[in-house]
Amino acid sequence: MNSNYENSNGAPVYVPVKYNRSHRRTAVTAIVVALCVLFGGAGFFFGAKYAKSQDHTENNSQGYRLESSEPGTERETETIVLETVDPDKYYTVKSVAKLASDSVVEITTETTSTSVFMRQYITTGAGSGVIITEDGYIVTNDHVVAGASSIKVRLHDGSEYTASLVGTDSRTDIAVIKIEKGGLSAAVPGESDLLEVGDMVVAIGNPLGKLGGTVTEGVVSALERDIEIDGKEMSLLQHSAAVNPGNSGGGLFNSSGQLIGIVNAKYSDTSYEGLGFAIPLSTALPVIGDLMEYGYVRGRIDLGASLVDIDSQYYAMYYGVPEYGVYVQSVASSGDAAAAGIRSGDRLVSVNGKEITSSGDVEAILKNLAVGDNAVIELERYTRSGRTYTSNDVTVTVTFTEYRPN
């Protein structure tokens, strides 16, 4: 490692982009030296204290050169220039921001919905994204762009582009979009597996959907934190950099200016500060690769049916079912559930012998199954005549194929 970037013990130090101050020597220096000679130890103490207050010394306490001059010559200032990302160098927040800000974008979306009165209305949303290739591929969160009919991207320089959706993965909350633009500033990937608790991190994103390019700093608070988000278990990095709605999909960078996480969640409460979470890059990269090449994540399975938890009398009446439980709300015509004979309105009793009390139970079981595996599902199927329900026990076997979303 270059000695300009380590202290006397060989430990790395933060190196600013520029440290440039100009001072003139005065006659005071000569007076101080004379006092040091005349008064011995007291003069030495005074002179040392005075010298410490001067910024024109050859080296500062961190060990990097600031200024140098020779008697009788014009004063010359040496500036440390930040040129590139080096994993052996550790930069200040200011330097990390300069390195990484151009790779973070603002994302705005429009989603078209239809009301119960068959009227269409448009909902707008906002988030962040990180450029991962110079030719326009951008990673963000699935929940930022899910269901969007229009996706717009604003670069750090203010230019705007229409983006197309390349692929999404709700399980990891990762999505890839693309704009038709070359020569972009792509983020440099880092190794999130090498992070330790206490490491400095910098979050860059678009909080509140209108403060693009916002930079906040913090530290890694915990590794592999198991968090449930929208019913899905995720293992995330916990950090203390301030994030807010709109930061989702933005970048989390290490002190070398390298991307080590995709910001995706914040836990907040009125009684304490919010806690930030990010998807580790080691988790995101394989997903990003599959989405870019295939448009979906290979090797995944899906039941091919949407489930709903009926746990109150209100919902039982709303859905017209006779008892509480986990019901099949809809079935994809080309999915594995339909192929096995599962129907809308069926109540799930057990999967592979495990009793089902919530839709989360089903997700937990499917998480441990792979393409080619079978699931034996016991159902209760109802037929209704007036106000009377008749139930039949039905057992089906679902054989899982590779899930390819539309």
Residue/partner pairs of 88-91 with CB below 8 Å, 24 or more apart: 88/1, 88/5, 88/12, 89/1, 89/2, 89/5, 89/12, 89/15, 89/256, 90/5, 90/12, 90/13, 90/14, 90/15, 90/200, 90/255, 90/256, 91/14, 91/15, 91/17, 91/255, 91/256, 91/257
Residue 366 in tokens? 């499917």
- Check residue 46 and give left, alpha or beta (phi > 0: left; psi -120 to 50: alpha): alpha
Catalytic residue among 95, 143, 255, 290: 143
Annotation says 135 is catalytic: no
Query: Which residues on adjacent β-strands are paired with residue 111?
Result: 123
Catalytic residue among 128, 142, 169, 173: 173
Annotation says 309 is catalytic: no
Residue 9, Cβ density class (10 Å: 0-12 exposed, 13-18 middle, ≥19 buried)? exposed
Catalytic residue among 103, 128, 192, 248: 248
Annotation says 248 is catalytic: yes
Going by the DSSP 8-state scheme, the letter that residue 166 receives in this structure is E
If DSSP states are collapsed to H, E and C, what string results for 26-89? CHHHHHHHHHHHHHHHHHHHHHHHHHHCCCCCCECCCCCECEECCCCCCCEECCCCCCCCCCCC
Query: Which residues on adjacent β-strands are paired with residue 252?
Result: 203, 261
Question: Considering Cα of 296, then 289, then 367, then 372, what sign does the dihedral take?
Answer: positive
Provide the annotated active-site residues.
Answer: 143, 173, 248
